[in-house]
Amino acid sequence: MKREIIMTRSEQRKERIARSMTRIRDLAGNQAPNYETLGKIKGELIELAREKDLFSIEDFPPPDAGGKRSNCLYRLSEDEDHRFALYANAAQGTVNAPPHDHTTWAVIVGITGEEENRFYKKREDGVEIFDKNVVQEGAGVTLMPDDIHSIHITEGEPVLNFHMYGLALEQLPGRNYWSDKNKEWKVFPPHTDIREARS
Ligand SMILES: [Fe+2]
């Protein structure tokens, strides 16, 4: 008699994430990824994002309205050496993250809602926008360590997307952002709302 194994949603999610992470580690190999590799990682995350039942706003709610932050991160996966860090980013309300780098590679892929990404070139006196792209269902963006982007979410429908980094955010103390108010590059402060969601 065949034994039926019933998995909870969180077990299914864990297993499905682990499958994608294995493929992503294989795609990346031991070399620093280039845009071509990042494109393949993006494809893998777009596949993962199709699992709507496993990645819903109900399971990954944004912070309560009226709080300090309008977005939070759920840590979904991270290797022991802190590489291949995958987060679900949940947001509701206005988000305007200033132009910043990551000092590691990054891939962002949409699940629900829209997040506008703007891309910049460095200039002597700051940054200059040269492109933009909307992260939404079935779409994403890739960034090399020195690439600069800003993130914009407008009030309305909640947003849920995957943010994946070559290294966990706690390991990236040297990320920089352009302060338009002070007209200078500043160190990006640590994220204040990262929630553990690996089990
Ligand atoms: Fe970013």
Contact 140, 105 (CB under 8 A): no
Q: Per-residue confidence at 66, pLDDT binned at 50, 70, 90?
A: confident
User: pLDDT tens digits, residue range 15-64?
Assistant: 999 999 999 999 998 888 999 999 999 999 999 999 999 999 999 999 98
Q: How far is CA 5 from CA 2, 8, 11, 14, 16, in A?
A: 9, 10, 11, 15, 15
> Distance from the CA of 26 to the center of ligand 1, in angstroms?
24
| CB proximity list for 127: less than 8 A, separation 6 or greater | 99, 120, 121, 148, 178
Please tell me whether residue 188 adopts helix, strand or coil conformation. Answer: coil
Q: Average pLDDT, whole number, for the chain?
A: 94
The Cα–Cα gap between 121 and 146 comes to 10
Contact 35, 95 (CB under 8 A): no
Q: Give the pLDDT mean for 91-110.
A: 96
> Distance from the CA of 147 to the center of ligand 1, in angstroms?
9
Q: Single out the residue of 49, 62, 59, 60 nearest to residue 157, CA to CA.
A: 62
> Distance from the CA of 8 to the center of ligand 1, in angstroms?
32
> Distance from the CA of 96 to the center of ligand 1, in angstroms?
11
Which pLDDT score, from 0 to 100, does residue 183 have? Answer: 94
Give all domains of the chain, ordered by start, each with its CATH number: 9-196 (2.60.120.10)
> Distance from the CA of 90 to the center of ligand 1, in angstroms?
14
Q: Is the pLDDT of residue 127 over 80?
A: yes
Q: Give the pLDDT mean for 131-143.
A: 98
> Distance from the CA of 21 to the center of ligand 1, in angstroms?
20
